Each structure stands twice: as structure tokens, then as C-alpha cells.
A and B are shown apart, each in its own frame.
Chain A
Amino acid sequence: MDGPDTSPSRRPIRDGWSIGVAVGVVGVVFGVLARASGLSVEKACAMSLLVFTGASQLAAVSVIAAGGTAIAAVASAMLLAVRNALYGPVVAHWFGRDSLPTRLAVTQVIIDESAGVGAAQPDPTDARRGFLAAGLGVYVCWNLGTLVGALAGDLVGDPTRWGLDAAFPAAFVALLAPHVTNRPGRVAAIVAAAVTVATAPWLPAGAPILIAAAVAVPVAVRSWEGPA
């Protein structure tokens, strides 16, 4: 990362690692919340190493913290993890010629941020580099952040005091921005936001996101049609 690099496309690498550092901060939040909901340091770190999909982990821990059962926590985590399947076909396009062990390892880092950084690049070479930088950057920083948060949980105290509950959705705002530059993207975002507002009070954590996508995507696709 350091040293002179004259290639024209440092941006995917820089974007990937800066999102990694940013998500590392959220990893600290996860570590703190995991400890607050009664998980041991070992369990918090195991979740980040093995589950490694932030929204699912946060949803699971939130359900536990809210007094939900382990089954409810796992169910909401699984609902949120479904969307990672939808990134697969796009990511597979960037890693079609790699060995099986490489692809099995790449699979673990298919998450919102890596797919988002990859998809934001103009060509497949940069997409691959951006995906890897974000995937590895987030993996390293998310796990370090989890460890720090879990160990320091009692010192941080209330994460809202530091505005961390605002920082996390803001990261997704930044990821959303390149997807709302065209009309169908804006339609999808607005419909999904409205459905989320309408359903979130009634449904378990995680479910509104899937329902919002199920409603918003057909509406947005329809808005696309007509004289294309």
C-alpha cells in the first residue's frame, strides 16, 4: 500500500482499505454490544472470525440483548445473511479463473462492503482489486475491532455517547450513494426505505430488510421499463 504506485487505479485499493478501517470502528461497536449482551470475549471473536457478516452479527446480538432466544437470534442473522447469496454471481464473474482453495477463501469475504466496492469500479480488473482490498481490509479490521471492543467493552460504556449508532448507518449511506445516481436506483431506495419504516415496528430484526428488497426491486425494475 505504501511506496510509489504509478498505476492509474489505486482508487479501488484505497477505497477497499479505507472502508476496512471504517468497518473496524463498527467492529469495536460489535465487540462492545456482544459483551453487553452477555457473550464472552471468545464468543464475540469467534462470531467475527467465523460468521463474518456484520449486519447478521449485530442483529443476532441485538436480539439477545433485547431478551430474545438464541433461536430468534440465529433466525434473524440467517435472514440477513441471505442477501450475501445475491452478491455471489457478480463476484464469481471476477474470480472465474482462480483455484478452488482461493475461491473457497474468497467466499468467506463476500459481504456488503466488498461487493459494493467491487461493483463501484469501472472494469472487472479494478472490481477484483477493490473487492479483495475491501474483503481483506474489512476481515482484518473487523476482527481486530471486535477484539478491542470485547476487551474494552466495560471502559467504553455506552456506545451512543460516542455517536457510534449514527456512524454505522452513515457507512451504509456512503455505500448507497453510487447506487442512486440513476432513476431505478432511487426508486428502489425510496420504496425500500418506506417499506422498512412501515414494517420495522412489527417484525423481528432482519426481516424488514428482506421484505423491503422483495417489494422495492420489482417496483424499481418496472420503473426502468418503457423506452429503454
Chain B
Amino acid sequence: MTWVAIAVTAVSAYAFKALGFFGLSRITPRGVALRAVAVLPAALFASLVISQVIEPASATIVWTRAVGVAAGGAAAWRRLPLLAVIAAAGGTAAVLRLLT
């Protein structure tokens, strides 16, 4: 990453944030658009989770990572605080890797 690449990334990242905040806000979502906005986070978060879980690595890393994330999911299901979810996931993966 050159400084130019970092600058381009920074300017475009801010531009997308500003586009939504200052531009799209003039359009009030209604009907189908409102429903689309409502379900969008579920789609994005689910995809982010999966793409990170299946990110290529050694078989041991991938299955221990998956079990760790499942432990985090169980913690989230029980509505534990976010830090507990993260600790459950990271801790489970780290302990499994110590044992394997």
C-alpha cells in the first residue's frame, strides 16, 4: 500500500459515507425500499460472518475457527454482552488449537 493508495481509499470511504448521509437522505424510503433497507443489515452481516469463517487457511485453523464462531453464536443467542461473545469465540478457537 503506497501513500497514494491509502489516500484514494480514505477519500472514497468518506465519499460513500457522505453520499448516503447527505445525498440519499433526501429520498425517504417507502414500501419496498423501506423493506429492502430493513433486511439489508441481516444480509451484509451474515455474508461478512461467512466470508470470514471460510477464509482459506489450514484445515485445522478453519474448523477450530468455525467451532469458535459457533461458540460465539451460542453466546449471542443467550444474549450475552458482545465482549463475552468475542471472548467465547476467540477463547474456544485458541484452546482447541492448543489441544490439537
Contacts and interface: CB of A to CB of B under 8 A. Distances in A.
A88 B82 contact: no
Interface residues of A, number: 94
Given A88-B24, A169-B69, A170-B73, A200 B45 contact: no
Contacts of B19: 85, 88
B81 to A, nearest CB: 6
A175 B21 CA distance: 21
Given A19-B82, A88-B24, A173-B72, A193 B49 contact: yes
B51 A73 contact: no
Interface string B59-88: 001001100110111011101011101111
A152 interface: no
B21 A103 contact: yes
Interface in B27-78: 27, 29, 32, 35-55, 57, 61, 64-65, 68-69, 71-73, 75-77
A193 B46 contact: yes
B51 A217 contact: no
Q: Which of A15, A93, A171, A220 is the most central at the interface, judged by chain B CB atoms within 10 Å of its CB? A: A171
A167 interface: yes
Contact of B37 (A84, A86, A209): A86
B1 A162 contact: no
Given A170-B86, A192-B42, A192-B44, 19 more contacts: A15-B82, A46-B3, A62-B55, A86-B40, A88-B24, A89-B25, A107-B21, A110-B21, A119-B41, A161-B97, A165-B65, A166-B68, A169-B53, A173-B76, A176-B45, A189-B45, A192-B46, A213-B40, A221-B35
14 contacts: A43-B1, A77-B9, A87-B20, A89-B21, A163-B95, A166-B92, A173-B69, A176-B42, A184-B35, A184-B38, A185-B39, A196-B51, A200-B51, A217-B40
Interface of A: 15, 18-19, 21-22, 25, 39, 43, 46-47, 50-53, 55-56, 60-62, 64, 70-71, 73-74, 77-78, 81-93, 103-104, 106-108, 110, 112, 115-116, 119, 160-177, 179-180, 184-193, 195-197, 200, 205, 208-209, 212-213, 216-218, 220-221, 224
